[in-house]
Amino acid sequence: TQLLEQSPQFLSIQEGENLTVYCNSSSVFSSLQWYRQEPGEGPVLLVTVVTGGEVKKLKRLTFQFGDARKDSSLHITAAQPGDTGLYLCAGPSSNTGKLIFGQGTTLQVKP
């Protein structure tokens, strides 16, 4: 069974700090996605990474796909209160093609 493990599960930081969230697996994934979910809302796709070693930037967010395609990271520079939310990584199961989600990282950015 393919699993995605995210760390840390909870993160509370001050505005302006940097942070990194990790998404790890013992299995190879053909691609990984990162979603952000705000309270009372559904997840919203931030990025998809498909090539080992790929780096994508979305304003202050930097996403990296591991060379072996078993892990990914999300780095936020100078976090803002608007970055507060639940961050989920997800990847397609090699058996079914359906998305498998990590358990999520809850980020709180205090002003």
Partner 1 sequence: NAGVTQTPKFRILKIGQSMTLQCTQDMNHNYMYWYRQDPGMGLKLIYYSVGAGITDKGEVPNGYNVSRSTTEDFPLRLELAAPSQTSVYFCASSLSLALADTQYFGPGTRLTVL
Does residue 97 interact with partner 1 by CB under 8 A?
yes
Is 30 a binding residue for partner 1 by CB under 8 A? The answer is yes
Q: Which is nearer to partner 1, 1 or 14 (CB)?
A: 1
Return the residue of 7, 99, 108, 110 that touches partner 1, per CB under 8 A: 99
- Cβ closest to partner 1, residue 65 vs residue 76: 65
Distances in Å between the alpha carbon of 27 and those of 16, 83, 100?
A: 34, 29, 12
Closer CB to partner 1, 12 or 111, in the complex = 12
Q: Please tell me the distance from the alpha carbon of residue 90 to that of residue 111, in angstroms, as a whole number.
A: 29
CB of 99 to partner 1, least distance (A): 7
Tell me how far CA of residue 10 lies from CA of 7, 23, 30, 70, in angstroms. 8, 13, 27, 22
For the record, the structure tokens of 61 come out as 């967010």
Is beta strand 10-14 parallel, antiparallel or unpaired with respect to 105-110? parallel
Note the residues at the interface with partner 1 (CB under 8 A): 4, 9, 30-31, 33, 40-45, 48, 50, 88, 90, 92, 97-99, 101-104
